[in-house]
Structure 1
Amino acid sequence: MAFQQGLSGLASSSRAIDVVSNNIANSSTVGFKGATAQFADVYASALTGAVSTIQVGIGATVNAVKQAFTQGNLTTTSNPLDMAINGNGFFRIQRNDGTFAYTRNGQFDVDREGYIITAQGERLTGYQVDPNGLVGNVIGPLRVPQDEADPQATGSETGVSITANLDSREGVPTTAPFDPLNTDSYNSTTSLTVYDSLGNPHTLSLYFVRTAPEIDRTWEVYASLDGDTPNSIGSTVFQPNGRYDDAFPGTFNFTRSAADLNNGAAALTFPIDLSNMTQFGSTFSVTEIQQDGYASGQVAGFAISRDGIIQGRYTNGQTRDLGQVTLVTFRSPNGLISLGNNLWAASPESGAPVEGRPGAGLNGVISAGQVEDSNVDLTQELVQLIIQQRNYQANAQSIRTQDQLLQTLVNLR
């Protein structure tokens, strides 16, 4: 008599219990993908030849353990560098030995050199930023630079723009000539901060002086830097409807030489756009001031977009792209080799890794400040555990029955 069927059933059920137990153990492991044992029957054709009507199976075997790469739930965390993939794809990790592995665990941090790393100190890879600050096509370990961001002088791009209303009811000042220390010599004033090439802040003050009776609608504009002697930069002229008269220049140039600044910075030159100003019958008010300069800054925090762009937020109020996360897909994810520590490695069965940007093609998108939970359903796993336990008991009973039959034969006289 044969015990092989029962023994193979015990072995298969034991392996299935191992798989279920591993799923249960990793039910709280970030990025874990649950597995299922797949069974197959076993036949020995050599015992009966090709006569199919008298074939008796010799048991069962586990011919595969397949992982289910379905989406897990997303949980919000307090770490801005934590990332979850919503959809297809894996993070690409450069290991400490130089090889590459792949993971769905998006729990990342920054090491002392600024690289984005896993809990094992291995580096997340992505698209690097080129010297112009643009995300390029070169893939490598993602590094968050900790150095200061360079300052930008006002006027490097757009200069100064002011939106305000001058009160049309006001007349010519009672005191002349214009004197910034005498409020009776001008009608209105406003100020803003501008920056030189070294990032030093300077206070730019603008004074508006009505130069003719109300019917003329002309205002002289004076500018002063850090309280120096103001100089006239031009005149604003308005239409009868109170809007700026486009027939006259609406942009005025302001300049201070390097000698005037006297701090080592380059000459400060920028346009001042006043074309959005109005002259209505209401009190003087400033609704918007814009200028394109800023001081130097240090990284204060990070933000990650859906397409994986990592942006640094600086203390000077600026944001800069620091890189973009790489996602990798495989033709057959079940062909991946599990390495432990939430990592997989490519194999001939998985196919070659296909690298791409989040949200492109079949790649999923990034959810920042979140992680992907294990996709294990505890209720289903506990039910499977009961089923496999019953199978194990039934196979043990099969062996016991075989033993009783054998004992009967031994006792024959």
Structure 2
Amino acid sequence: MIKTELEALRNKGQLRSIPNIQAKSDGRIIIDGTEYINFASNDYLGISTKAELEKEFLSVTKSMLSSASARLLSGSSPEYVDLERTVSRIFNKEAALIFNTGYQCNLGVVSALIDKGDVIFSDKLNHASIIDGMQLSRGDFFRYKHFDYDNLEKLLQKKRGEYNRALIVSESVFSMDGDVADIDRLVELKNKYNCLLMIDEAHAFACYGDTLAGVSFGKDVDIITATFGKAVGSFGAFCAANSDIITYLINKARSFIFSTSIPPLNIAWSNWLLTEQRSYLESQKLKLQKLTADVHSLLKTKGIETVSSSHIIPIVIGSNDDTLQVSEKLRALGYYIPAIRPPTVPEGTSRLRISLTADCRIEDFAGILSHI
């Protein structure tokens, strides 16, 4: 049965394998002994490849390499307390809670907050972690058309009164299209229909906002989730909210309760970057924003339309086979841009997802366009 399903995936051009990555440096990646220009990284500020930062951090830290337990047992430490305070300050929230991954964070938050008699209203293109959280919750959920807030309001008008607690969930910068949600409209609707509003800032945290706090900073958003594993170049994720919600999650979020916590060394690294290296993160953010503006200007000059308004640039090709062929063609020319296929994106929308980082060059992006 398993072999049959694997063969079906192969025939549809959807069978995946883990690449043999041997090394990474600023804007570059080595796979099977060959170096490529890397347009597949979520390390948006280029932090993870900065050896000088790592060296400086390791010279001052004494944090342990393992927590060896869940936090509700003996797996917590002062590093966790410090980082949660830092996150709370950045997002101007009462409290924060660290999760092991962005997937576990969204899964745990959504499934914990919604129970029988409750309801979720979710953007149709939200990340799999949100979808899986909805499915694990014991509540009902409705998916509104992507960015169609009139459709969302119609659902709220029709269904909101049938339930107790209600949660509206959206990403800010969407991971596969690079378009940006209208947070003000979502805030308007959550207030009008008495809902909680959760925004996933995974692809915006440290890339947007005067305090690195993403797209929704300063807006009436109840729950913010994001990851340290992208622009911050570290590991782990967090939820920021009021103290009651965080206390509730500590007691109800199964992905938090039943997981051995991240090593204190990783937690200390995240906090060190967000405090001691804040100015460096800001400078890298400005580099990324300038590159993003230059890329979108180049696309406009060449008459290439895109739904993106961010550092994530999708080039939708359509079929799996065609997308794989273009990806392999670009790889032969020295560009690493893996084909993104279902179930990551909807059927018929397979694409190249070009991910800009602060270490990318506009000349390299222009080179891609000349070969597509």
TM-score (norm 2): 0.21
Q: Which has more helix, going by share of residues?
A: 2
Which structure is larger by alpha-carbon Rg, 1 or 2? Answer: 1
TM-score (norm 1): 0.20
Q: Which has more strand, going by share of residues?
A: 1
